[in-house]
Amino acid sequence: MKVKMGVLAVVLGLSSLAIAGDMDVQSELAALKAQMQAQQARIAQQDAQIAQMKGENWLNARRAEEVKALIADVLADADTRASLLQSGMSAGYQDGFFLASADGNFRMNVVGQMQIRYTLNTSDQAPVTVPGTDRAESNEGFTLPRIKLGFYGHLFDPTITYGLSGRFDTNGLQQGQFGTNDPFGEDGDFELEDAWVGYEFAEGWKVRGGQFQGQFTREEAVHSGKLLAVERSMVNQLYTLDYVQGVEVTYAGEIAGQQIRAAGTFHDGSYSANLNDFWVRPLVGAPVALVPGGDLYDFGIGGRGEWLVMGAWEDLDDQQAWSSGNRSLMIGAAFNIDEAAGGNGNTIPDVVKWTVDATLELPDLMGLSVFFAYVGMDTAEKDTTFQMAVRDPQGIVAQVGAFVVPDKIDAFIRYEYIDWDVNPAIAAATAADEYSTLTFGGNYYMKGNNAKASLDVIYAMRSTNLFNGAGMIGSGQLPGQNLVISQGDQVAVRGQLQLMF
């Protein structure tokens, strides 16, 4: 009986173990089944996404056109670069448009300038004593004082330089604008200004020959597009060398630890390049009998020196004290001797003129800029029978400017004065022996001097009738100054828009 009971216990134990094992297998199978179902669901979802992508027209017609246009642009740019760079040439804009070779031995900078000016002039006209000088009391109109194009750079290597530029003649003594009848009025012709070749023969030493702007007055050395006023002073117009033809040697470097620039020029005489600028001759009343194509002077010799007391030369290239600049001070001096030409009925005397000037810029003090210049002249008579209306005139220019809004809006005031040293034997009919004007105004800078709008007022406090005469202008206005020949005081309001590149 005991044996049977033991056997039964063993059988029951084995049965329970079998049942437990079967339950574990079923659990595992159920888990595997659930995992497979989840995987099938993910696969089905992926299949649906793939099917959707296959059915979508994602590269539609518009996208195809955009791709084609992009390819065309890339090919066009590649063709352009290939044509320019076939021999290593580069082009771009860096302080002006340029073309240059890859090795830097050839470069051409293209520059341009355009000024559009409107002027309103009113004068207090007194009875005139010289026939033909009567003018209207109020005159107004538009002019294009400067339309210029130039090319500058170097050839073969950076030591061989060149300059070629000119302007369209749109600022002559305009026929009829102020009631004049001037034979040298504007005609739209292209007039040569710069035409020179230069060579740097030693460090800091350069020589150039051809036609260029002679270095004498400081105002003339500043580009016409980088002034505070709409136009340079009349003092500058009278004493400048203007464009001359000749040879110039310059030096820029250190002497005794000081920064120095100097220039010496041998030329054909003041104003020798453009004889059409008849009005600039500071010989009022002189009986000039110059044959067309003749020379006023046999030759001229001039020199100018500049000392940079502090600052940097490049900060003094214009008349503005920009906030990015340095405190700068420069002192300059110059002289020039013109030997009068003989023959052709020429009665122009020998002329010696000189100047001293100072320029100060303080960017950290509201962009303050100060300029002062003194000029003088001595005229040696050719013979005892020759008489001049003006003998040894002297003049000064004083100018102060400052920024109202840094680098954006400025204001300035300028005073100029000339003591004519009148010869009463020939100039008795004139109303005054002095010339003085006050100019004030401001500028709005859109892109520095490259794009700016200017407005100023010039007030002539004395008669300008002394300018009348064949030796000076022989017409009814003072070009550039927008003043007319008048025996009374007068005012001119000038607005100007300028673009340079």
pLDDT band for 390, please (50, 70, 90 cuts). Answer: low
Helix (H) or strand (E) holding 209: strand 205-213
Residues 226, 477, 269: CA angle, nearest 5 degrees? 65
Average confidence (pLDDT) over 271-280: 55
Range with the poorest average pLDDT among 227-236, 265-274, 436-445: 265-274
Q: What is the pLDDT of residues 183-202, one digit of tens each?
A: 344 557 788 999 999 999 99
Instruction: Provide the 3-class DSSP secondary structure of residue 270.
Output: coil
Q: What percent of the chain has pLDDT over 70?
A: 67
| pLDDT at residue 498 tops 80 | yes
Range with the poorest average pLDDT among 88-92, 201-205, 380-384: 380-384
- Sequence-distant (6+) residues with CB within 8 A of 445 are 407, 408, 409, 410, 451, 452
Cα dihedral 115/356/477/424 (nearest 10): 180
Q: What is the pLDDT of residues 10-59, one digit of tens each?
A: 445 545 544 555 566 567 667 777 777 777 777 777 777 766 665 555 45
CA-based nearest residue to 278, from 134, 485, 470? 470
CA-based nearest residue to 389, from 424, 354, 418? 424
Q: Which long-range contacts (CB under 8 A, 24 or more apart) does 425-428 make?
A: 425/387, 426/285, 426/387, 426/388, 426/389, 427/284, 427/285, 427/389, 427/390, 427/466
pLDDT band for 147, please (50, 70, 90 cuts). Answer: very high
Q: For the chain, give every domain's residue range.
A: 2-55, 94-500
**Given this structure, which CATH class describes domain 94-500?**
mainly beta
Higher pLDDT, 313 or 487: 313
Instruction: Provide the 3-class DSSP secondary structure of residue 466.
Output: helix
> What DSSP state is assigned to residue 271?
T
Task: Specify the pLDDT at position 170.
Answer: 72
- Sequence-distant (6+) residues with CB within 8 A of 145 are 115, 117, 170, 171, 231, 480, 496
pTM over 0.85: no
Both structure tokens of 212: 């260029």
Helix (H) or strand (E) holding 329: strand 328-340
Higher pLDDT, 451 or 19: 451
- Sequence-distant (6+) residues with CB within 8 A of 80 are none
- Sequence-distant (6+) residues with CB within 8 A of 351 are 270, 282, 337, 338, 340, 377, 378, 379, 380
Range with the poorest average pLDDT among 103-112, 121-130, 390-399: 121-130
Q: Which long-range contacts (CB under 8 A, 24 or more apart) does 4-10 make?
A: none
Q: What is the pLDDT of residues 332-361, one digit of tens each?
A: 999 999 887 765 555 567 889 999 999 999
- Sequence-distant (6+) residues with CB within 8 A of 172 are 182, 184, 185, 186, 187, 276, 479
